[in-house]
Structures are given as C-alpha cells and as structure tokens.
Amino acid sequence: MLEIENLSLSIQDQILLDHITFSSYGNLGVLGESGSGKSSLLKSLVVLFSSSFLLQAKTLRVNKFNVLHLRGKALRKFRQRVGFISADLYGGFYPLSSIGSVFDALMMYSDIGGSKRDRKKLAFEMFEQMGLEQLDRIWNSYIRELSGGMAKRVQIALCLICGAKILLCDEITASLDEENAQKLIALLKSMRIPSVFATHQISHLKALCNEAIVLKDGRLIAHGLIETLQDLQNDYVQSLFGGASC
C-alpha cells in the first residue's frame, strides 16, 4: 500500500520531515508527540501543500501510484482514491454550504452519473452504511450543526462515495468523547478499508492497526508490529506507550 524512501518536506529553512523511509501493506498507525510530523506525513501522501513547501522523495508510492509524478487531472483523480480526513472536527466542508450541496457537487465532480435525485439516493445509502439516521435532516444541515461523531461519519461517507480506497485519518478521534471515539473505530474496523491512522491515543491505535511508525522531530524513530514497538528499549517510544501526552 505504501512505499516511501527518503521522503523529506521543508518550508524555507524549516525541515518538517527528514529522510523518512518505510513500507507498509496493512493498517498503519502513526505515533508521535505534538509537532513530530504526523500530519505532515499524511498530507505528503496526497501532496496537500502549497508551492511554498518543498516535498522530495526517491520513492513515494501509494497503492502503486507514483505520487510525485502525478499532475493536473491525474493528481485530482488520485486524491479521490485516497481520502484525507483532517483533525479539524468539521474539516473538509465549506461552512456556508449545506451537506447535501457539498455531496452533490463533489459527486458530480467525481463523475458519478444520474440525476440529482439518483445522487442523493446514493448518498443516503452511504449514510446508512455509516450508521446515520434522520438522513433528510443531515442532508439539509450545515456541517457545524452536527455532533462531532456525526460530522466525522459524514466526512468518511464523502470520501468513500467519491471513490476512496484508502483513508488517511489525522487525529480523527481527538475531539470526540470516548464513547463516540470507540464507535468511530468500530465503524472503521467493520469497513475493512486500509487506513493510515495518526493518533495520540494508544488504545485507539491498538484497536485499529497491526503496525505503526514512531516519529520525533520529523524523523522516523521506529517501525514495526505494535507488540514489538511497545517492548522496544527506547525512552521516547516507551514514553508514548506509557501514556505520556502525544
């Protein structure tokens, strides 16, 4: 799923990621303290940066796509296949447009055919797969009118209906209470869609991922199966698995 060799990211003189190398073919956890580079790594996988940033890599493949070789329409199509869900509780939605308007516009952009009624029916079917109810109310609501748990499910639904085959989840449980966080993790597990899951919650990481990488100051500190990492004799890694704030 992921093949990364010597990936570096910088802006002006600030190095955000420093020669990251790893491969992963399952659900991958990304662990590290605040500022370690978790978000930067996930955004690098879909090149979500302005021209002020310099992203370089010898190899950057996601599902066999050579990401840094993609331009224009090819890059836009690739981004539809890799759904990025930000840490922002209501991220990804224009706040002045209803949820239905956002879905319909992006479904048309993704070449989903049929009438507006057909697209709404498809969206409602996806809402139901996400365990959502009161579908008409959601369709006509603005994203900030939803609870945090509902908003995250709607964001996942939008990624999937537009064709995502992988989900990049950037601290998506951080703003939720534990009950809603567990429901969201259970939903992701039930969908069986590959994911890259950046989190500071060790219990959430263990519930969803088999392996993880550990980042510190933009550098890769460790990579392996979670049960191996938690026994690793490294003070920084142990501080993360020991419950320190990440």
In this predicted model, what pLDDT tens digit does every residue of 110-154 receive, in sequence order? 888 789 999 999 999 999 999 999 999 999 999 999 999 999 999
Q: Is residue 152 in a domain? A: yes
Q: Is residue 33 in a domain? A: yes
- Its pTM stands at 0.92
31: containing domain = 2-241
d(CA 162, CA 52): 28
Q: Is residue 45 in a domain? A: yes
d(CA 129, CA 195): 18
| CATH number of the CATH domain containing 66 | 3.40.50.300
* 180-211 pLDDT, tens digit each: 999 999 999 999 899 999 998 899 999 999 99
Q: Is residue 75 in a domain? A: yes
* 36-66 pLDDT, tens digit each: 999 999 999 999 999 999 999 999 999 989 9
76: left (phi over 0), alpha (psi -120 to 50) or beta: alpha
Q: Is residue 63 in a domain? A: yes
Q: Is residue 222 in a domain? A: yes
Q: Is residue 225 in a domain? A: yes
Q: Is residue 246 in a domain? A: no
Domain count within the chain: 1
